[in-house]
Structure 1
Amino acid sequence: MTASDASLSQVPGPDPATEAARRAELRKHKTIATGLLAIATLIYVTMRWLEYQGNPGAWIGYVRAASEAGMVGALADWFAVTALFRHPLHIPIPHTAIIKRKKDQVGHALSEFVGENFLNAALISDKLRKARIPERASDWVVDGGGAHRVSQEVGKVIDLTVNGINPEEAEHVLRALVIDKLSEPTWGPPLGRGLEQLIQEGRTEPAVEAIVIWMDDKARTSEDFVVRLIDERTPSWAPRFVRELVGSRVYRELVEFTGDVRCDPDHDARRQLRSFIYQLSQDLQHDEKMIARVEGFKNDIMTSGPVTAMPGRLWESVRATLTTWSRDPDSLLRRRIAQWVEDYGRRVQEEPELREELERRIVGAASYLADNYAGEVTGIIGETVERWDAQEASDKIELMVGKDLQFIRVNGTIVGALAGLAIYSLTELIFALG
């Protein structure tokens, strides 16, 4: 196969069974048209033979003229029809095999015809306005069950989309958007600035209160722990009752202290805790050792197994959830989509302004596409025809329209015969009167 042959694409056509049926129909109509030509020829030859035999019948002239004109009409139309697709009798007569020779011109002419008559912005705008697309679409959505159909189709799109994405690519994207973005900046200063702003806005007080309450509650439930701890730290030679007494005393002092801190909003311990939080905010911003410590903490977190595995698990969770929701007609996602579409459809029905706005946008978008891209769209026709093999294209076109063209041959035979009969009859009448 040559390079030029390889550049030619196969002409699209029907399935083999349909093509075989069309070829059979074309052969049948060709046979009928050719049969009429043969009948006209036979009648003409017979009439001429009768004339040479001296048969005096006046009717012979009429029949001969009709058959002769019918034969001429049949031959002329056979030539015209055949010349569209091939050279008649394989003789390279000029201006024959028109489709085969001028395939490219026909394709570009067809593309221009479609562009001028079908992708015309004014025509499309007029048709779209008459179609009342927003009104009919809203009626279908609200009254024709269209909301559930839209929900079903959107669910299919979501299903195909999420399951068509390569999991490795999705994991890579999530890692770049989440993990890498979180790892890029230094955590210390931003955390310090955020904590300082929370302090200024008084939003750290709930945290201070929570710590104080937790310490008080913890102290009140730690008597056994305090007594045991004091007992372990007291010299073994001390009497046991002394150790228990000291432990109980320490516990009571601890509970009293945490209780005072809990009840006094301006307790010194609270001020020390606030001072610690403020100093932490400053160290996070300005202390290099603290910043480096936070960075080490950050690196430990971001390189840990659970975090590095998070993008893959996150995508798999999202994919499985969306797949289940998109396939289940009773899922929250599908029901929300159907409800949103139905609500919007009712708005279109009830609000003329919205309906007009939608129609204006549809017409405007179609006009814009027609004005700016009609050439590209119709150009596909010409470019596609150019890539077709000339002989195959000619055969396919003949297969599509050849049956109807055979009626031209049939009509040529019949009309020619009637015209010949009329001309002969008129001539005989004129000379008879003369």
Structure 2
Amino acid sequence: MSGKSKDRSLHLLAGGLLLAMAALFAVAWYYQIAPLKAFAEAALVGGIADWFAVTALFRRPLGLPIPHTALIPANQKRLGKALGEFVRDNFLAPDLVVARLRQGSPAGWIADTLAQPAIAHTLARRLARVMEDADTRAAVLGLIRPGPPLAQALLLVMRQHGHQRVFDRVLDAVQNALVRDNAFVLAKVSDGSGRWVPGWIDRKLADKLTAALAAGLDDLRRADHPWRLGFTGWLERLAERLRDDPALAAKLAAMRDTMLADLLSEPHLTPPLAEAIVTWGRRLAADPGGRARLDRRLIHLTERVLVPSRREIGDFIAEVVERWDSATLVAKLEGQVGRDLQYIRVNGTLVGGLVGLALYGLSHLLG
């Protein structure tokens, strides 16, 4: 049974019990059964009083303009302010927040959470949906602007020798591949030699060729190597064209729009993004030093941003509650506590009846 069905059942139970007490009172009055009449009468009073009290919290009983009813809608602004102050003073107190962060490890929780594939996939899918928003996509595309902005970015990277680091990383990748396995070179040598050439000669030639390639790669690491200088010159000419050639900028912009429109779609973006999230979470989980650094940054961020802004956060909560439609606010609160309120009505009816019966018995005992 769903929550709404249970709430409706309890509401019917409370109302039905009140009607049953009214019927019981009528029977007791008709047959003059004094104890039963005392019980039913008191139960009716208790049930009606609790029905009035419960209803008066959210709306006017029977729609009558009775003072001090519909308390929650009438005091919505004050409730919002009180809720904001409560969160501000009890959840965002500086000592409490920082102590709680120091006690645990937010970075550890983040790592364990993001390392779970299901959570990472859900997070990636939501991020991908954000990227599919037209305004968000336009903002992302605006960050990649061919033409003078891209030329300036390229020249900035070159001034910081970023292109040289890229060149060296490419050399490292090729050299590591040759060191790990020269089967590719051996296959090419074998294909080029005749059938009559023994295999050991092919292997010897492949080893020498591999060694020569490795030496050539080492030579490319010289700052004055012609190839390295040629790479730098090509990037400089590219930056110049990006700055001065509108046709090239327009062509690159069209390529950007075509490529990113496909890459930023949810089906294409979600899998690699989820894999990246899981990988980052697992690396963080296996890196105690990284977690410690992230914990320090989170605590520092909390001390510098969250805690000093707690008054604004409290005011924001108050404003949100105040802006809620009264019917929405009542529905939210009734959905949370409605079941307990119906139990109050049931208990009020039964307890009222028992108290009435007890008073009846006590009055007879005292003569």
TM range (shorter): 0.5 to 0.7
Could you say if the C-alpha distance between residues 131 and 47 of structure 1 is closer, same or farther in structure 2, counting changes exceeding 3 Å? same
Q: Does 1:42 align with 2:23?
A: yes
Letter in 2 for 1:49: Y
What secondary structure sits across from 1:174 in the alignment?
coil
Cα contact 2:43–2:348 (8 A) shared by 1: yes
| Alignment length (residue pairs) | 278
1:82-231, aligned counterparts within 5 Å? 82-138=55-111, 156=128, 164-165=137-138, 169=142, 173-177=145-149
Cα contact 2:117–2:278 (8 A) shared by 1: no
In 1: Cα distance, 2:131 partner to 2:49 partner: 62
Letter in 1 for 2:86: F
In 2: Cα distance, 1:337 partner to 1:83 partner: 50
Q: Deviations over 1:145-184 (max 9, x none)?
A: 699869967995997699923798567x4334256999xx
1:312 aligned to 216, 225, 250, which one? 250
Could you say if the C-alpha distance between residues 368 and 153 of structure 1 is closer, same or farther in structure 2, counting changes exceeding 3 Å? farther
In 2: Cα distance, 1:101 partner to 1:79 partner: 17
1:70 aligned to 20, 40, 43, which one? 43
Q: Residue in 1 aligned with 2:322?
A: 386
1:263-282, aligned counterparts within 5 Å? none
Could you say if the C-alpha distance between residues 96 and 150 of structure 1 is closer, same or farther in structure 2, counting changes exceeding 3 Å? closer
TM-score when scaled to structure 1? 0.50
Letter in 2 for 1:307: D
In 2: Cα distance, 1:26 partner to 1:112 partner: 31
- Between the aligned residues of both structures, percent identity stands at 31
Letter in 2 for 1:174: P
What secondary structure sits across from 1:119 in the alignment?
coil
Structure 2 unmatched runs, 5+? 155-236
Structure with bigger gyration radius: 1
Cα contact 1:151–1:335 (8 A) shared by 2: no
Q: Deviations over 1:120-158 (max 9, x none)?
A: 33333344344423234445677x669986996799599
Q: Residue in 2 aligned with 1:417?
A: 353
Q: Residue in 2 aligned with 1:204?
A: none
Q: Residue in 2 aligned with 1:356?
A: 292
Q: Deviations over 1:392-432 (max 9, x none)?
A: 5445544554343122111100111122222333343344x
In 2: Cα distance, 1:400 partner to 1:309 partner: 62
TM-score when scaled to structure 2? 0.58
What secondary structure sits across from 1:94 in the alignment?
coil
Letter in 1 for 2:35: Y
What secondary structure sits across from 1:165 in the alignment?
helix
In 2: Cα distance, 1:149 partner to 1:26 partner: 35
